[in-house]
Structure formats: C-alpha cells, structure tokens
Chains A and B, each alone.
Chain A
Amino acid sequence: MNGPGLFTAHVPGTSVVHRMPLWLKLVGVLVVGATPWFAQSVWPLAVTTVVLAGVVLAARLPSRRLVRSMRGLLPVLVVLLAFQWWSHDLAYAVRVVLGIVNAFVAAGILTATTPVTDLLDGVVRAARPLRRVVDPEVVALTLGVVVRSVPWVAGSFSSVRESARARGLDRDPRAVVVPTVVHVVAFARSTGEALAARGLTDPADDDAPGPSGPGASSRSAG
C-alpha cells in the first residue's frame, strides 16, 4: 500500500482552514470545480492554483501528501494534456489539466482539513429534506466509505500491477484490469458485510430483518 495522500485521512490541526465552517469549504470546492466552465483564458485557473497552494500552506498540510496524491494522477494528466493539445490547442489543454488539478487539490484540502464524521454530519443535514426518499445516514455513510476506499483501490491497482510485472505481463492491460476489478468487488462485498454486521445499514429506530435474507452466502462456509 502506498503512503497516505491528501484524501486518505484527516490531518488534525487548528489552522484557519481547519476551523472554517463546512458549508464554506463546500462552496469553495464547488467554485473551484466550476471555474473551468467559465474561464475564457488560462489566467483565472492559474490564479486559483496559486490560491490553493496558499491554502495548503495556511492549513499546514504535509507537502509530501500533496505530492504523493498528485503522483498517482500525473500519468492521466499527461495523457489528457497530449490528447487535448492534439485535438484542440495547447492553451485549451492547459486549461483542462489545470481545472482537474485544482478540483483535485480543493477536494483533497476539504477531506484533509475536515474529519469524516463532520462531513457525515454535514451530508446528513443536507440530505434531511430528502428523507422520505432516502435515509440521510445511508447517504452520509456511503460518502464516508467512498473517501476511505480511494486509497485502497489505488493500493490494490499498484499491487496488481507489480504482480503482473513479476509475471512479465505488465504490457497486457487484462492482467492488471481484471484482477483489480475482482479485488475491488471482493473489497466492496466485505465492506458491505462489515457495515451490515455493525448494524450500520439497519433503520435507526426499529427492527430490521437479517441483511442476507433467508439462507447464506456460500462464501461464509469456512
């Protein structure tokens, strides 16, 4: 497993960014994410990048985490830059890439400076008007599990790639993609089982039947 990136865990702190209300951070992420849609040149995006770098410094987030997070994204960005340059022009390609980098860093700052439990509380509050349609706690829990699963999936991809390389199959995409998908599905299944075992998927105030219904999965015969 790789070391922690910005999305892996909350970085405890007392900086002004840490103390900022959740809604303000969410608005910030939305604004950063929307900027590429309205920017007519590269400058607004470049300014946003500089501002975000300032926020990272103000929050005293470990730069190693930022670099580690970006390293995983780098190959995608290079391919994207090349493709957009080829299909449009260099200025457009730089705008696309900077837009993605900014959104990635802004989301990373949000998760690194906000405990997931505070995020969950925020999501529960936001989803409360929809409680007739969907349980706000389930929405929040889903978000929490997604945040926690990102580094696992990245780590799994990396170990599968190493195994494929050891077998001389690193040039065969199937040898990397298929086992990764199998790992991710197994991980999702065991995470779901753990959530069910802890009663986190049960309705809050009443009884619920067993999560698997009558019968059992053959997986648990051990």
Chain B
Amino acid sequence: MTEVRLEAATVTVPVDGSPGQRTRTILGPVDLVLAESRVTVIGANGSGKSTLLRLLNGLVTPTSGTVTVDALDTVRHGARVRRRVAFAFTDPISQLVMPTGREDVELSLRRLHRSRTDRRAAAERVLERFGLAHLADQSVYDLSGGERQLMALAVVLATEPGLLVLDEPTTLLDRRNTLRLRSLLASLPQSVVLATHDLDLALHADRTLVVDEGRIVFDGEPGTAVERYLALSDAP
C-alpha cells in the first residue's frame, strides 16, 4: 500500500501586480497521512481539491512543508514519485497525447520496454485487461467520452503505479459511464485518491476529506463527510 505523508504542506501563489510580490495561500498548511485503499476528496469549486491532488505526484510542489510518497520527497525525487503515482485529469482528451490509444499506451511503456516487440505485446495486454483492444487503433477523437476516460485510465495505469489520483473523473460522463468507471475503480489493485462532486461516488471510500477555502475541514467517515460538505454548501 502506498503511503502519502503531508507535513505542514502549504501552497501559495503570487498575487499579480501587488506591491512587494504579495502572495495568496491556496492550500494549507495541511498535515495528513494517506494510507487507505480508497480516499475521496470533496469540496466546492476553487476550494483547493485539485491543488491537494497535484501535490501527491509532484505536479505541484509545496511552497513550504513537505510531501512524501513512500518516504520519497516530491521535490527532490519528483521522477521516482511520478513513477509510483499516476494522475488522471477531468478531461481525458488532454491526457491522451498520441493519435490512438494503442500508441498512447505504448508511449507510457517506452521506459519499461526498450524493445519495440516487447512494448507492443505489453500494450496489447494492457488494452485487453481494460476491455479496450477493439478501440486501440481508433483516433482518440473518435472515442466517446466514456471510452476516452477508460482509455486515459489504461494509459496511466499501464506502468502499474502504486497509487492512482483522479481529479473529478466523472464530471464529463453520463450515468452509465459513471457507473462503469466506478466499477473499474473498485476493481483496481492500486490505492485510489479521487476528488469528485459526485457525492454517491464519494461515499465509496474508506475515508473522505472535505476541503474548504484551502483547508481540510473534515477528515473521516464518508457518510459524515458528505453531511458536513452539504451543511457547508447550504450555509448562507
């Protein structure tokens, strides 16, 4: 099980045009240890959820404090952290950087398999495992939203990371594809941390964090977390 540890992790951004380079805190300080199999993160738009997720694979590094994944610091060991932590974005089309799914999976596997033949065989196995072999040679632009999201997951999971981080993965999906994705996520051997506005999905977790104005305002059982989030949202 992958363990993520945040110690007083704070992220600030400079305020444009302010005298003396004033900064604004968009997250933190956050102290957390994430070691559960399924963790969900809920919160309003702009609350800091995405920043929190981006800290986990070093896509964003803390302005102060530390973030470690299996004791690897995300600042000093960024490359090794990203090999352990896969990240899936809301819009899969920005995730798929090659013309077809097969080519994208092969791209993920370039560093693991230098031989072209081995890489092709490994990509074929990944696509079959995700039930996507029949879509492998279609242009990524021809896939439906649900197919694209599944392909994007296959692409980032091809390297078999220990932790999968997903930023609002169901936002662009209809109900059928949301259920398909939910069932896929439940079957994964990886630890999963996902931010979502889908409160049904948020309940399928061992632990839920509620983020509000850059702070973790609740950390615990999913049902109670959802109630806390609804109370926050409904407050005037």
> Do most interface residues of chain B lie in helix, strand or loop, or is the interface mixed?
mixed
Q: How far is the CA of A206 from the CA of B79 in the complex (A)?
A: 7
Known A121-B116, A137-B110, A216-B60: A144·B87 in contact at CB below 8 Å: no
Is B142's CB under 8 angstroms from A4's CB? yes
A151, A152, A196 — most chain B CB neighbours (10 Å): A196
Instruction: Point out the residues of chain A lying under 8 angstroms from B75, CB to CB.
Output: 209-210, 214
Residues facing A in B83-102 (CB within 8 A) are 83, 86-87, 89, 91, 93-100, 102
Is B50's CB under 8 angstroms from A148's CB? no
Q: A99-121 vs B: 1/0 string, CB under 8 Å? A: 00000000000000001111011
Is B51's CB under 8 angstroms from A187's CB? no
Query: Cβ of B61 < 8 Å from any Cβ of A?
Result: yes
Q: Which of B50, B78, B80, B137 contacts A221 (CB 8 A)?
A: B50
Q: A187-222 vs B: 1/0 string, CB under 8 Å? A: 100110111111110111011111111111110111
Instruction: Point out the residues of chain A lying under 8 angstroms from B54, CB to CB.
Output: 216, 220
Is A9's CB under 8 angstroms from B87's CB? no
Query: Cβ of A8 < 8 Å from any Cβ of B?
Result: yes
Instruction: Point out the residues of chain B lying under 8 angstroms from A214, CB to CB.
Output: 61-63, 75
Is A208's CB under 8 angstroms from B108's CB? no
Residues facing A in B42-79 (CB within 8 A) are 45-51, 54, 57-63, 74-79
Query: Cβ of A46 < 8 Å from any Cβ of B?
Result: no
Size class of the B contact interface (CB-based, 8 Å): 35 or more
For residue B116, which residue of chain A has the nearest CB? A121
Q: Which of B11, B79, B93, B106 contacts A199 (CB 8 A)?
A: B79
Instruction: Point out the residues of chain A lying under 8 angstroms from B14, CB to CB.
Output: 215
Residues facing A in B132-162 (CB within 8 A) are 137-142, 155-156
Known A207-B80, A215-B13, A222-B49: A200·B107 in contact at CB below 8 Å: yes
Size class of the A contact interface (CB-based, 8 Å): 35 or more
Q: How far is the CA of A203 from the CA of B107 in the complex (A)?
A: 15
Instruction: Point out the residues of chain A lying under 8 angstroms from B45, CB to CB.
Output: 222
Q: How far is the CA of A115 from the CA of B99 in the complex (A)?
A: 9
Is B60's CB under 8 angstroms from A210's CB? yes
Q: Which of B74, B95, B106, B111 contacts A194 (CB 8 A)?
A: B95
Query: Cβ of A178 < 8 Å from any Cβ of B?
Result: no
Is B99's CB under 8 angstroms from A147's CB? yes
A3, A144, A195, A218 — most chain B CB neighbours (10 Å): A218
Is A218's CB under 8 angstroms from B13's CB? yes
CB distance from B49 to the nearest CB of A (A): 6
Is B60's CB under 8 angstroms from A115's CB? no
Q: How far is the CA of A100 from the CA of B95 in the complex (A)?
A: 32
Is B82's CB under 8 angstroms from A198's CB? yes
Is A197's CB under 8 angstroms from B59's CB? yes
Instruction: Point out the residues of chain B lying under 8 angstroms from A9, CB to CB.
Output: 99-100, 137-140
Is B82's CB under 8 angstroms from A202's CB? yes
Q: A1-15 vs B: 1/0 string, CB under 8 Å? A: 101100011101000
Is B82's CB under 8 angstroms from A116's CB? no
Is A208's CB under 8 angstroms from B48's CB? no
Cβ contacts A to B, 29 pairs, < 8 Å? A3-B142, A8-B141, A9-B99, A9-B137, A9-B139, A116-B98, A141-B97, A194-B97, A197-B89, A198-B108, A202-B78, A202-B82, A207-B76, A209-B76, A210-B61, A210-B75, A211-B59, A215-B13, A215-B60, A216-B51, A216-B54, A216-B60, A216-B61, A220-B59, A221-B26, A221-B46, A221-B48, A221-B51, A221-B214
Beyond known contacts A210-B59, A221-B214: 12 more, CB 8 A cutoff: A9-B100, A9-B139, A116-B99, A117-B106, A148-B99, A190-B94, A194-B94, A197-B82, A208-B78, A216-B13, A218-B26, A220-B54
